[in-house]
Chain A
Amino acid sequence: QKEVEQDPGPLSVPEGAIVSLNCTYSNSAFQYFMWYRQYSRKGPELLMYTYSSGNKEDGRFTAQVDKSSKYISLFIRDSQPSDSATYLCAMSVGDGLTFGKGTHLIIQP
């Protein structure tokens, strides 16, 4: 079983919809959870960073961590065409990150 599982998509939704992106993991020692956004032909950019369980909100983005289920989510409200990108989850015990393979998201105008 891979350490971090992420559905590659593509996930296609209409503009304005709420988007849910998810990752599951197997290593219960992970404590830090990150979401990165990567546009085509660009490097990833750090979107959200959470420690332990719970929710964290930043504008239209909400990151949710459920350590009991080993499951993390990124919600995007009022999705825009500019949100079309690949979203990578990542997690860490301390040094070093384990990345998911990314979900390709398409927001249809």
Chain B
Amino acid sequence: DVKVTQSSRYLVKRTGEKVFLECVQDMDHENMFWYRQDPGLGLRLIYFSYDVKMKEKGDIPEGYSVSREKKERFSLILESASTNQTSMYLCASSVGRIPQHFGDGTRLSIL
């Protein structure tokens, strides 16, 4: 069974902290994505990566960065966490540019 694993289901951090969200896929997919999901706003793309060390900005990249040092792992970094980054974060992977398999999400609260 294919799997996208996000390191934490729930995370609580403080304003100004540097936060790392980790995602690992076991399907040897080229493409990986980070989305956030907010009530009333739906899913919005933060960043995606189509190869190791490659990254592209999505619709809302401000305040975030990403790292892809290995094919199976895609990390999302909140450089200096703010309360408006409280959200559900979803990682996905795919063969093509359409996200196929999502992780179960990390619910991040910034206090």
B window 24-45: CB within 8 A of A: 40-45
- Cα–Cα, bound, A102→B38 (Å): 11
Partner of B42, one of A45, A46, A49, A101: A101
Residue pairs across A and B with CB atoms within 8 Å: the count is: 47
B74 on the interface (CB 8 Å rule)? no
Closest A residue to B90 by beta carbon equals A43
Q: How many residues of A contact B (CB 8 A)?
A: 20
B40 smallest CB distance to A (angstroms)? 7
A44 smallest CB distance to B (angstroms)? 5
For B92, list chain A residues within 8 Å (CB). 43
Given contacts A96-B59, A101-B42, A102-B42, contact A43 B105 (CB under 8 A): yes
Per-position contact with A for B68-100: 1 when CB-CB < 8 Å, else 0? 000000000000000000000010100001111
Partner of A44, one of B41, B44, B56, B90: B90
Closest B residue to A95 by beta carbon equals B97
Partner of B58, one of A32, A44, A96, A102: A96
Contact between B97 and A94, CB atoms less than 8 A apart: yes
Contact between A45 and B98, CB atoms less than 8 A apart: no
Given contacts A46-B98, A95-B97, A96-B59, contact A101 B104 (CB under 8 A): no
Partner of A46, one of B43, B99, B105: B99
